[in-house]
Amino acid sequence: MKFNVRDLVYIAIFGALWGLLEITVGSYLHVLFPPLADTFLVGIIMGSLGILTSLVGRRFVPKAGAVFMMAVIAMLLKGLSLGGVTLGPMLAILIEGFLMELGLLAWHGKSPWAFAFAGALAVSWNFFHKFLMMRLLYGSGIVEVALKMAKDGARLLGMDPSAVALILGVLFIVRFVVGAAAGWVAWGIGHAVAGRRAQRYHAEDPAS
């Protein structure tokens, strides 16, 4: 699908906004919540912000591939963080953009359910991202990462650390639900903004 100049401008704006949120808010949250930064809280917050930003942008550019292009821009800006190139967050942003595109494609991208599904897929990736990065960077196995995640999750949720499967299930479900909620909210915000833009256009050009 082709993009016109207007589409590319919106893609650049929303992609840059996503990237700036990653650089500023993301960096601050990692300092504020260091023990939980790689397991749960920061991933959910930043994933939700990325979803809100990119899916609102998708309402302005209702074309397949727009969200992924925003993700590419956000990823490149994330590479400009003060801490230097951060492979993990950059890869997460790119995969989140790809998963949102898949979610929108599955629901044809024309309903709040499509946005909710796209958001759920994107934030859910934060669960699997830990396994991937620990394997790539440190060679850690699935069981080792799962046990560490369950231990951190037990401390966060106040649960018995021995209930590994239950803790991991809760951590995944919370991510899925929060992502779906963020996608639904993004649809509502985009719909409201689009409605106001249309009203303003007609007010400025009554002949239309």
Gyration radius (Cα) of the chain, Å: 18
Predicted local distance difference test score (pLDDT) of residue 201:
52
Q: What is the C-alpha to C-alpha distance for residues 131 and 85, in angstroms, rounded to an integer?
A: 20
Q: What is the C-alpha to C-alpha distance for residues 5 and 169, in angstroms, rounded to an integer?
A: 44
Reported as type and span, the H/E element at residue 74 is: helix 66-78
What are the Cα distances from residue 2, in Å, to 5, 7, 59, 168? 10, 9, 16, 42
Inter-residue contact 13 to 21 (CB < 8 Å): no
| Sign of the alpha-carbon dihedral angle for 117, 119, 123, 125 | positive
Mean pLDDT to the nearest integer, 141-151: 81
Predicted local distance difference test score (pLDDT) of residue 80:
81
Q: Give the range among 36-40, 78-82, 157-161, 168-172 with minimum mean pLDDT.
A: 36-40
Predicted local distance difference test score (pLDDT) of residue 197:
63
Domain boundaries, the chain: 5-204
pLDDT tens digits for range 32-67: 766 554 557 888 999 999 999 999 999 999 999 999
Q: What is the pTM of this model?
A: 0.85
Residue 150 has pLDDT above 90, yes or no: no
Listed in sequence order, the residues at least 6 apart from 178 whose beta carbon sits closer than 8 Å to its beta carbon are 44, 47, 48, 123
Q: What is the C-alpha to C-alpha distance for residues 53 and 15, in angstroms, rounded to an integer?
A: 8
Following DSSP, what letter does each residue of 103-154 receive, concatenated? HHHHTTT-SHHHHHHHHHHHHHHHHHHHHHHHHHHH---HHHHHHHHHHHHH
